[in-house]
Amino acid sequence: KQEVTQIPAALSVPEGENLVLNCSFTDSAIYNLQWFRQDPGKGLTSLLLIQSSQREQTSGRLNASLDKSSGRSTLYIAASQPGDSATYLCAVRRTNAGKSTFGDGTTLTVKP
């Protein structure tokens, strides 16, 4: 059974800092991995999706990497802003028609 872990559970940084969020998974036989952002009381917003054959994806100040062999993905946020404050979740899908397993998320606070 796939298990997805995100450490730390919470992170607080000053504005402007570059930071890395971590996502670990136990079964390396994945189809893809997706990073989401969730604001309090809201749904999830997709940030980046990495297919199993890819090593990284970039969107603006965000860069996500994937290392299947070690069961890890990182989300790099450059020049953090207070508007980046949210909970970030990663989700791992096992097959092309299968379900995703979600981590519990890392709650990020960026202080002005």
Which among 18-26, 63-71, 72-80, 85-93 is the span making contact with other proteins, rule CB under 8 A? 85-93
d(CA 80, CA 76): 10
Closest CA to 30 of 88, 90, 74, 96: 96
In the set 84, 103, 106, 110, which binds other proteins (CB under 8 A)? 103
- In degrees to the nearest 10, what's the CA dihedral of 87, 24, 36, 11? 20
d(CA 99, CA 65): 21
43 sits near other proteins (criterion: CB under 8 A):
yes
88 sits near other proteins (criterion: CB under 8 A):
no
In the set 15, 55, 98, 109, which binds other proteins (CB under 8 A)? 98
Give contact residues for other proteins (rule: CB under 8 A): 31-32, 34, 36, 41-46, 49, 51, 89, 91, 93, 95-100, 102-105
